[in-house]
Amino acid sequence: MTTSTTSRPLLEVKGLSKRFGGLQAVSGLDLHVARDEVVGLIGPNGAGKSTAFNLISGTLIPTAGQVVLEGADITGKAPSAVVRRGLARTFQSTSVYQGATVAQNLLRGALSTLPGSVWTHTVTTRARKAALQRVAREVDEILELSGLGPYRDVAAGGLAYGHQKLLGVAIGFATNPKILLLDEPAAGLNGEECAELGRLLQRLRTHRGISVLFVEHHMAVVMELCHRIYVLVQGRKIAEGTPQEIQSNPAVIEAYLGAPDYAHA
């Protein structure tokens, strides 16, 4: 649809499929995310949204299909390698380094942006010192943006649930991604926290133009933030479009609420 009109999309997923034994969890999924775009992936429980995330981020290896980031094929690459190419993901449950401070959590997120590898990181060179100072500044910036600044030196395990979820998103952002995949960032958050999350995403995007692809059940969040939405049911894409189109799409309504009685009549 929009593929031909704009330049090449940032992330392209073609014919992605995953089979677990007899279960076809995801079949022939096509999707794309353009630069600076926020795209939602919704669907009832068990639709294969999280599996699709795991396939795209490299946690699972697809049975068939291709994941292309900026024109380069990243299918089946290790998650850590995919992150270094600019695609980061967060987890459905809270995932932080419980014993480390908030600042340290963000530092660990930013480690992959340092030049060299763990084999050379023991040695402190002048260049590395400069890089570390840059990382320290970025950490401060993210603390500021995310509103986690006051908790800087608090152990992440001691944060409230909502703050831990924010920190999870902030760690993903600290890897300096071009596209961030968020797995149910609003799950378990109350209304105020949801609004705060939405504002955080907007701030992060205006601060550094990144694309976002996210799975979410919280429809208010999805409809407010997304430019486009894909709907997945039983591993298949049944609809895509703008929030308005999706809200009035009969196939989507049927998938979520069941067919109205008169449809059978």
Partner 1 sequence: MDMSKAVLPSIPPGQTESQSLIRGAAAPQPLGVVGLVGLAGLVCIPFLLNQAFTYHLAIFICINTIVVTSLSVLARAGQISLCHGALAGIGAYASVFCVKGLGLPFAVGIVAAMAAAGLAAYLLGRIVLRLQGVYFVLVTFAFGELLRLVLLEFGDVTGGANGITNIPPAAIAGYVFLDKPAFYALAAVIAIAVLAFFRGFYASPAGEAVDAVGENPALAESSGIGVRRTQLFAFTLASVFAGLGGALLAHYVGYISPESFNMHLSVALIIMMVVGGRRYLLGGLVGALVMTPLPEFFRGAVESQDILYGVALILMLRFLPQGLAGMRLPRKWRKQP
Residue number, 128 or 203, with CB nearest to partner 1: 128
CB of 130 to partner 1, least distance (A): 11
Which whole-number Å values give the CA distances from 101 to 67, 105, 118, 137, 200, in the listed order? 35, 6, 21, 16, 20
Q: Which of 52, 142, 174, 197 binds partner 1 (CB under 8 A)?
A: 174
Is 214 a residue that touches partner 1 (CB under 8 A)? Answer: no
Pick between residue 97 and residue 228 the one whose CB is nearest to partner 1: 97
Stretch that binds partner 1, among 13-21, 114-122, 200-208, 241-249 (CB under 8 A): 114-122
For residues 25 and 48, the answer to whether their CB atoms sit within 8 Å is: yes
**For residue 60, what is the DSSP state?**
S
Burial group, residue 45, by CB count within 10 angstroms (0-12, 13-18, 19+): exposed
Q: How far is the CB of 44 from partner 1 (least distance, A)?
A: 25
User: Are β-strands 11-20 and 64-69 bridged in parallel, bridged antiparallel, or unpaired?
Assistant: antiparallel
Query: Residue 48 in contact with residue 26, Cβ under 8 Å?
Result: yes
How many other C-beta atoms lie within 10 A of the C-beta of residue 163? 23
Residue numbers 4-23 binding partner 1 by CB under 8 A? none
Alpha carbon distance 211, 70 (integer Å): 12
| Total chain residues near partner 1 (CB under 8 A) | 49
208 touches partner 1 (CB under 8 A): no
Sheet of strand 72-73: strand arrangement: 23-33, 11-20, 64-69, 72-73
Q: Which of 15, 76, 157, 250 binds partner 1 (CB under 8 A)?
A: 157
Query: How many angstroms separate the CA atoms of 143 and 59, rounded?
Result: 28
Stretch that binds partner 1, among 13-21, 117-125, 185-193, 203-211 (CB under 8 A): 117-125
Cβ atoms 159, 167 nearer than 8 A? yes
Instruction: Round to whole Å and give the CA distance between 95 and 204.
Output: 19
Q: Which of 96, 210, 213, 232 binds partner 1 (CB under 8 A)?
A: 96
Residues 67-86 touching partner 1, rule: CB under 8 A, are 78-81, 83-84
Quote the DSSP letter at residue 37: -
Residue 135, interface with partner 1 (CB under 8 A)?
yes
Residue 125 touches partner 1, criterion: CB under 8 A = no
* Residue ranges that bind partner 1, judged by CB under 8 A: 57, 59, 78-81, 83-84, 88-91, 95-101, 103-104, 107-109, 111-114, 117-119, 121-122, 124, 128, 132-133, 135-136, 139, 153-155, 157-158, 171-172, 174-175
